[in-house]
Amino acid sequence: MWNRTRIIPLVVACPMFLQNLDTSVMGTALPAIADSLDADVLHLNLAITSYLLSLVLFLPASAWLAERYGPRRVFCTAVFLFSLASALCGAATTLGQLIFFRLLQGVGGAMMVPVGRLILLRAVPVAQMVVAMVWFTVPGGIGRLMGPLVGGAIVTVMSWRWIFLVNIPFGLAGVLLALYFIDKDLPPDSDAEMAPFDVPGLLLMAAALGGLLGALEMAGKSLMPWPGVVALACVGCASLWLYLRRSNAQAVPLVDFKVFRFLTFRASVAGGAPVRVAIGASPFLLPLLFQVGFGMTPLQAGTITMATALGSLGIRGAVTRAVKTFGYRRMLILSSATTSLFYAAYTFFTPETPHALLFVVLLFAGMSNAMTLVVLATIGYNEIPRNRMGHATALGTMAQQVSVAFGVTLAASLVELAHYFHGGAPGVLAAADFRPALIAVAMLPFMSAIAFLRLPKNTALADDET
């Protein structure tokens, strides 16, 4: 008999593997893609944030779809759509086509992660959740581990297009494993009335997230005049206010923001946002710094940046013991503060820094941020009632992806701003252009450490003995 505490987390984490592989591979391949598509390398962050934007826009529908059609069915359909869109990305011939197909990829990604987490939370007992979350994060860690090296090797030996095509066999394998290991969806309760899909709510949420993230993305790129950027931001803020006001009056809103009333969920989402922004920015910044700023080959940059994922993957087995030793609150404070220190070390990197030293620093940074993310994922849904779990997983995933998108956009904007003030030639970046962004990234996890001080000292899971 297979162990549900291990097998279910591994299967539903296949989307995390695909997403992390996709993102980390792209970071290494950005210069090659820019040359092939004749685009500015910093503008290629649109290929990353367009996926994240699409993902966030469609995330609100995940909870309703899972309840209406069944979590396993929605999960498998989403993984298949993600794989199909990956094939189209590999066939793109212009930046516009690549961005469009990345948007389509985001539609599949929007359903994969929150529905997979919903399946996990319903299948595993609370008392075994720490162990399950460790296994749940392993495939994502492997994806981040493989990504930089695979991306560097593909760009060096083959074409950048294969960084998308490699997703296809992994996606198909994920669908087959889900069909075999995950229990079939139960038939809907004939006595339960299914709430109709809230189309106006989805449109308001899409306008809110699209306006805010769009304004952030357009700022500083000369792709839209400043009045347009400000107008986008105002539309986003107004739409979010209207959605919140409307949802408060609904018995079953599309995404129920009332789950923020639960302390551990609020701490996981809001308190963890700064460290997630930093973790989102790093895979974009470091491969560019090493290749464009330090003159490394894609394979060299990929080999070094895989150290973060290697550290993240290697430390996960110690998370349970560390939590028992320090407790959830102290573990979050220590791990996020340590992440801040290691990220601060990035600001001292130079082209002359030995590659072995770069590797070691990134290795320890990966260990510390993995500790933070695993504990956040474990305690975040501890207090959420079963009937609100779909809303919490959708909202938590939305917040996580918004943080990552913000990290990528913030990093690109700070590099471009520094390049402008340094008077560099258009399209020619120097190592010094990356320093302000690296400083900002180093400060963010420390902000999370301060936020975690507000957690009760006895923070624990239900039925937890730690």
Q: Where are the domains of the chain?
A: 4-181+254-452, 198-253
DSSP 183: P
Farthest-apart Cα atoms in the chain, separation: 69
Tokens of residue 121, six digits: 């939370």
Q: What SS3 state is found at 351?
A: coil
Dihedral, CA of residue 279, residue 284, residue 289 and residue 291, to nearest 10:
140
Q: 179-188 long-range CB contacts below 8 Å, 24 or more apart?
A: 179/72, 179/76, 181/2, 181/7, 181/8, 181/11, 182/8, 182/11, 182/12, 182/71, 182/72, 182/75, 182/119, 182/123, 183/72, 183/123, 184/72, 185/69, 185/70, 185/71, 185/72, 185/73, 186/70, 188/68
The domain defined by 4-181+254-452 folds into Growth Hormone; Chain: A; (1.20.1250)
Q: What SS3 state is found at 182?
A: coil
Sign of torsion, CA 70 73 75 78?
negative
Sign of torsion, CA 355 406 380 102?
negative
pLDDT in tens, the chain (466 residues): 455 566 777 777 777 777 777 766 776 777 888 888 887 776 777 777 778 778 777 877 777 788 788 888 888 898 899 889 988 988 888 888 888 898 888 888 878 877 887 787 777 776 676 667 667 766 766 776 677 777 777 777 778 888 888 888 888 888 888 888 877 776 655 544 566 778 888 888 888 877 887 787 676 555 677 788 888 889 989 998 998 888 887 777 777 788 888 888 888 888 889 998 998 888 888 888 998 889 888 888 888 888 887 887 777 667 777 777 788 888 889 999 999 999 999 999 999 999 999 999 999 998 888 888 888 877 777 777 777 777 777 778 778 777 877 888 888 888 888 888 877 666 678 888 899 999 999 999 999 999 888 887 766 554 444 4
On whether the CB atoms of residues 404 and 276 are closer than 8 A, the answer is yes
Q: What is the rounded CA–CA span in Å between residue 218 and residue 438?
A: 21
> Half-sphere exposure of 10 toward its Cβ, with a 13 Å CA cutoff?
11
pLDDT of residue 349: 93
Q: In terms of Cα–Cα distance, which of 279, 284, 220, 307 is closest to 31?
A: 284
On whether the CB atoms of residues 394 and 63 are closer than 8 A, the answer is yes
Sign of torsion, CA 378 381 383 389?
negative
Q: How many CB atoms lie within 10 A of CB 460?
A: 16
Name residue, tokens 């290629």: 44
Q: In terms of Cα–Cα distance, which of 309, 322, 310 is closest to 279?
A: 309
